[in-house]
Amino acid sequence: MSAKIEERVEEIVRGLLTDVPELELVDVEYVRERDYYLRVYIDKEGGIDIDDCQALSERLEEILDREDFIPDAYILEVSSPGLDRVLRKPRDFERDRGKQVDVTLYAPFDGKKQWTGALTDCDGKTLTLDDGIQIPMEQVSQIRLHIDF
């Protein structure tokens, strides 16, 4: 159910963003925490600001209210994915190729459960880092952009 909601919202947001080509849809997630949350993550070169989020939120909310396809009460959040965004989709791996990532595994691989390196490739089955390490994606718990402090 949540996957269908996410797909439909993604479709709506992509339509809305055709008017604002500098904005990019990064991700949509519909999750239940204490309440249900519909989160839309957007970005643009140089970063987004509150006006970008508010404008999209207002336009999206109008369509969601009209179409009324989400059965639960939910909180809509439109925001930046953050500096340490999680990489999930093929376009994330394309966009962030060459950037440093932190990889967390379910169990140790080659003696380590955490890896940091430049993302060289991800074909959906194997994640390749710049040191030549190739990690099977079925062993990957999470991939985030690395932040250097």
Mean pLDDT value of segment 62-75: 96
Residue 91 makes CB contacts below 8 A (sequence gap 6+) with none
For residue 78, the model assigns a pLDDT of 97
Q: pLDDT by residue (tens digit) across 97-137? A: 999 999 999 999 989 999 999 999 999 899 999 999 999 99
Q: pLDDT by residue (tens digit) across 11-68? A: 999 999 998 889 999 999 999 999 999 999 999 888 899 999 999 999 999 999 999 9
Residue 18 makes CB contacts below 8 A (sequence gap 6+) with none
Pair 134, 121: CB distance under 8 Å: no
- Across the beta sheet with 140-145, what order do the strands follow? 134-136, 126-129, 112-122, 100-109, 140-145
Tell me the backbone φ, ψ of residue 5, rounded to 5 degrees.
-65, -45
pTM over the 0.85 mark: no
Position 1 pLDDT exceeds 80 = no
